[in-house]
Amino acid sequence: MEQIQHNFVTVRGLKFHIAELGTGSNVVVFLHGFPEIWYSWRHQMVAVANAGFRAISPDYRGYGLSDTPPEPEKTTFADLVADLVAILDHLGVNKVFLVAKDFGARPAYIFALFHPERVSGVITLGVPYVPPEPPKYQESLPEGFYISRWREPGRAEADFGRFDAKTVVRTIYILFSRSEIPIAEENQEIMDLADASTPLPPWFSEEDLATYGALYEKSGFNTALKVPYRSFEEDFGVTDPIVKVPALLIMGCKDYVFKFPGMEQYIKSGKAKEFVPDLDIIYLPEGTHFVQEQSPEVVNELILDFLNTHI
């Protein structure tokens, strides 16, 4: 891990933190989810670099060590895509593999839709490609559904504000590691669904937590609440929603996202492949929402198989 290099590039008026490893001509860009940052890809960066690839893992604007925009509440998914284009241009990288986790699937696939000539392939973990339109999950879930709560202006800010950043990350990691969708009762907040006595997942150490906690202490949660949770209605102007690059979905069968209304059917029925014709799907029976940290050797092998097939 100590061999990972940390650099900063200034594009689009902000300074972005980029973790890098490897010098190969084939580049793999890792896009994180929430409550994550570049560090969630630590195992995969080492694996692909050792296999001869160049690994790049940026922190999004307002996340980790990257600058927070002057008005985080105005951040959009389109910003994340434009930031990625600008970072790659700055680095002189013309074509990449994209590996994305959680909501990172959306900027990865939007990038692939608008810049297919720059994408060798897309791998997503835990979230399939869904045509860019507002999700309807909350319509059939209780009011306490965590996304519904976090979309409400001020509610998550007040909930998170009762604790330090490390405790917030700890609680969310515990909740997202379970196989049930986080849903609070009417008289509860999301942070009340786990307490200090709840153990961390066995694959997530106190040292890992301290790293995440320090980075979110620096960045705060304002940008993270805007993108993804308060930006799902964003219109990208997509006229052709069909993805024309090779893709792989790695899905943990114990990932709570699998229980979103209609999600399992969408993936297993073949509907997902209608939008991504060159899609392979691999299921990990014991996989949770954080498969890349839970089972790094397995995930690394799957990623490398895909990369080597599509070089």
User: All domains of the chain, ordered by start, with CATH?
Assistant: 5-310 (3.40.50.1820)
Which residue bears the tokens 């860019």?
132
115 counts as catalytic: no
Which residue bears the tokens 């074509």?
95
289 counts as catalytic: yes
Relative orientation angle of helices 105-114 and 77-91, to the nearest 10 degrees: 70
End-to-end CA gap in the chain: 25
Evaluate if residue 79 carries a pLDDT over 70.
Answer: yes
229 counts as catalytic: yes
The pTM of this model reads 0.97
CA angle 172, 174, 175 (to 5 degrees): 65
Evaluate if residue 101 carries a pLDDT over 90.
Answer: yes
Residue, of 91 and 136, whose pLDDT is higher? 91
Encode pLDDT of 244-254 as tens digits.
Answer: 999 999 999 99
Evaluate if residue 91 carries a pLDDT over 70.
Answer: yes
Evaluate if residue 232 carries a pLDDT over 80.
Answer: yes
For 96-124, what is the mean pLDDT? 98
| DSSP 8-state class, residue 256 | G
For the four alpha carbons of 223, 225, 227 and 233, in that order, the dihedral sign comes to negative
The fraction of the chain above a pLDDT of 70, given in percent, is 99
Question: Which one of 59, 102, 159, 255 is the catalytic residue?
Answer: 102
Which residue bears the tokens 């049930």?
180
Evaluate if residue 1 carries a pLDDT over 70.
Answer: no
Question: Which one of 79, 173, 212, 289 is the catalytic residue?
Answer: 289
For 276-284, what is the mean pLDDT? 98
198: Cβ–Cβ under 8 A, 6 or more apart, which residues?
174
Compute the mean pLDDT over every residue in the chain, rounded to the nearest whole number: 96
60: Cβ–Cβ under 8 A, 6 or more apart, which residues?
31, 32, 66, 80, 83, 223, 227
For 177-190, what is the mean pLDDT? 96
Question: Which one of 173, 212, 229, 256 is the catalytic residue?
Answer: 229
**Which pLDDT does position 229 carry in this prediction?**
95
For 286-292, what is the mean pLDDT? 98
